[in-house]
Structure 1
Amino acid sequence: MTYVIRPWSDIANHYHGTAILGNGASIAVNPSFSYGSLLAHARTSQLIASDVERLFHFFRTTDFELILRIVWQASNVNKSLGIEDSRTHEAYLGVRDCLIQSVQAIHPEFEQVRANLPGIYQFLKRFDTVLSLNYDLIVYWALMYGYDQDYEHAIKDCFGAGGIFQDDWSRFRTPIYRQRSTTLLFYPHGNLALCRDRIEQEFKIHNRDSGLLQSILTRWRSEEVVPLFVSEGTWEQKVSSIRNSYYLSTVYREVLGCERETLVIYGWGLGDQDIHLLQRMRSTGIRRVAVSVYGRNQIFCNRVASIIQEALGAVPIDFFDSQSIGCLNNPST
């Protein structure tokens, strides 16, 4: 079947519900994210020691965060019981340093993406809810841009004092002060800015703009926290990781399960490992779906149309050009 691929401006007025951003959104801002996989970068750059590779093989995963957390917890148990085991701690340091080096190599600095933030913010603010599947800081930086520039609208990630996620997250939909409208932002697979400590307390690392990435890496080096994001793995592995996190499981159960009439998918390839997210939204009332397409790819259109309608039912689908005016970092003005 041949699908019509329209400019975003032709359909934008029909979509104000939920938007999902995939890796293609990050690549549109900076091509360094085309790696997609932190582990692939680490292996290509020969950053992984043989001990670390054995851990990935033994636990049958490609998820950096999972391996780092397992070895970190084992090291902390040994330390608390006074068990002499330098090899476990060295393995933890190896995984941690490998992850830090990979993030530093792939993730752009704030100044490299600053010019994109106004357009990204304007795109995101049109939606009631934004779900970012990306571990990077671009959407977080766009949120902070909005705090400084727009007093009538607020994008909120529902983290309160001390960076703690709020159980009653839905109250953030209510505008306060001079705000007239709000957008709620969530990370179904976590984010670089999210972490957990030794007692599994989860929180968000705060800092402003250019200092945020370095603050995150400094906290990782402190050995006090590990990152909270699901970077790789099969859908079964991802769902297992989600269930082991209070924040991620809340987003999965409550946020994805909320009623919505429209859904926009930008830069998400709908790989088999992520379809569980779409399936979770099946009974939420979605009546219309819009999907971005890069390069007018009809093969992609046919594949994702089949996936979406199998997961959500016979909903109408609009395809739009990912590079058209008004999309993400292609501002209208």
Structure 2
Amino acid sequence: MPYVIQPWEAIAPNYRGTAILGNGASIAVSPSFSYGSLLEHARANELIAPDVERLFAFFGTTDFELILRIVWQASNVNQSLQIPDQRTHEAYLRVRDCLIQSVQDIHPEFDQVSGHLPAIYRFLKHFDTVASLNYDLIVYWALMHGYDHDEEHAIKDCFGAGGLFQDDWRRLRTPIRRQRSTTLVFYPHGSLVLCRNRVEQERKIHNADAGLLEAILTRWRSEEVVPLFVSEGTWQQKVSSIQNSYYLSTVYREVLGSERETLVIYGWGLGEQDLHLLQRMRGTGIRRVAVSVHGADQIYCNRVLPIVQGALGVVPVEFFDSQSAGCWNHQGA
């Protein structure tokens, strides 16, 4: 028998716990995100110099952020010890500029996506917790939209004054002032908005909505910070990168490991390289799962069901139409 694909609004009242957003969410806002990866884009557009390719091959990774950080740290060490090494610094600049160009090519400007933000905000505020696996700024821009337009609900990313992550993030679930409810947002694989400095301190970059993307790229050009996001790699490589970041490891251990009764998966293809995140939520009390489906794809449903139940245990799984009213960037009825 075919799987039943329900409209989102029919099942939404039963799912207020945690939502995980995958790349399909970003593609629904802008087709420019349909590139498989930043590295794929860079290679397809011949942005990568031969010595940069050798770095990816030597370290056995496709993670842009990791390669950039390794070469940046090596260049900083050489500079601090006054070791002449122009080649290392030039390699860092080539990796950095390649990454910047790839982000500029792929990521839309604020004005190009701002029309989607009210609907996205309404979708996000439905949940207690949102985990975005995407490096882009769409969720952050939606969060800021809520700051400007909604006094009764607060979506918080748990970064406070000075851009520092707040260790007592659970406390932020409590509404304050005029707020009646809250949603906490996390980035299990990091985000463009996050960075780390020479001594591994991790912070969020602040700027006005419309200028945030350029502010981020300007910070990268300053050579004072590198981005904090895990864009590619096998699950083993991703877990290793997560463990090397205070913020990412906190999200992995504490946030994903927290109790929840329901889970919504939107736009996430559940590839093997990311299943460590789903497996981390096993035993957290999940009683039902809802998974978005594009175009009533029965083959996708048939593939996803055993993956979800294999990772979480035998829990009921429902499917909903990713383009139905009230879902992500689609206006409600």
- TM-score, shorter chain, exceeding 0.5: yes
Distance 1:260 1:268 in 2: 19
Q: Which amino acid aligns with 1:188?
A: P
User: What SS class does the counterpart of residue 227 from structure 2 fall into?
Assistant: strand
User: What SS class does the counterpart of residue 184 from structure 2 fall into?
Assistant: strand
For 1:99, the equivalent position in structure 2 comes to 99
Q: Tell me if structure 2 keeps the 8 A contact 1:135–1:191.
A: yes
For 1:321, the equivalent position in structure 2 comes to 321
Structure 2 residue 182 is the aligned partner of structure 1 residue 198: no
* Displacement of 1:331: 1.4
* Displacement of 1:35: 0.5
Structure 2 residue 20 is the aligned partner of structure 1 residue 31: no
Q: TM-score, normalised by structure 1?
A: 0.99
Structure 2 residue 312 is the aligned partner of structure 1 residue 312: yes
For 2:243, the equivalent position in structure 1 comes to 243
Count of residues paired in the alignment: 333
Equivalent residue runs for 1:126-137 within 5 Å: 126-137=126-137
Deviations 1:290-315 (A, max 9, x none): 00000111111011101000000110
For 1:156, the equivalent position in structure 2 comes to 156
Structure 2 residue 299 is the aligned partner of structure 1 residue 286: no
User: What SS class does the counterpart of residue 155 from structure 1 fall into?
Assistant: strand
Distance 1:104 1:156 in 2: 26
Distance 2:231 2:51 in 1: 20
Distance 2:264 2:142 in 1: 18
* Displacement of 1:10: 1.2
* Displacement of 1:162: 0.3
Distance 1:72 1:165 in 2: 23
For 1:6, the equivalent position in structure 2 comes to 6
Equivalent residue runs for 1:65-214 within 5 Å: 65-214=65-214
Q: Which amino acid aligns with 2:195?
A: C
Q: Which amino acid aligns with 1:271?
A: G
Equivalent residue runs for 1:294-309 within 5 Å: 294-309=294-309
Deviations 1:174-219 (A, max 9, x none): 0011000000000000000000000000000001111100000000
* Displacement of 1:33: 0.3
Q: Which amino acid aligns with 2:113?
A: V
For 1:64, the equivalent position in structure 2 comes to 64
Deviations 1:256-310 (A, max 9, x none): 0000000000000000000000000001000000000001111110111010000
Distance 1:277 1:196 in 2: 23
User: What SS class does the counterpart of residue 276 from structure 1 fall into?
Assistant: helix
* Displacement of 1:2: 2.2
For 1:50, the equivalent position in structure 2 comes to 50
Distance 1:96 1:319 in 2: 41
* Displacement of 1:9: 1.2
User: What SS class does the counterpart of residue 196 from structure 2 fall into?
Assistant: strand
Distance 1:208 1:267 in 2: 28
* Displacement of 1:135: 0.1
User: What SS class does the counterpart of residue 319 from structure 1 fall into?
Assistant: strand
User: What SS class does the counterpart of residue 324 from structure 1 fall into?
Assistant: coil
* Displacement of 1:36: 3.2
Cα RMSD (Å): 0.6
Gap runs ≥5 in structure 2: none
Distance 2:312 2:198 in 1: 39
What's the % identity of the aligned pairs?
79
For 1:216, the equivalent position in structure 2 comes to 216
For 2:227, the equivalent position in structure 1 comes to 227
Distance 1:239 1:55 in 2: 20
Distance 2:36 2:244 in 1: 23
Distance 2:112 2:14 in 1: 33
Distance 1:331 1:183 in 2: 20
* Displacement of 1:150: 0.1
Q: Tell me if structure 2 keeps the 8 A contact 1:23–1:36.
A: no
Deviations 1:230-275 (A, max 9, x none): 0000000000000000000000000000000000000000000000
Deviations 1:13-71 (A, max 9, x none): 10000000000000000100000300000000000000000000000000000000000
Q: Which amino acid aligns with 2:116?
A: N
Distance 1:208 1:188 in 2: 24
Distance 1:80 1:36 in 2: 37
Distance 1:141 1:329 in 2: 13
User: What SS class does the counterpart of residue 115 from structure 2 fall into?
Assistant: helix
Distance 2:120 2:208 in 1: 18
Distance 2:208 2:293 in 1: 33
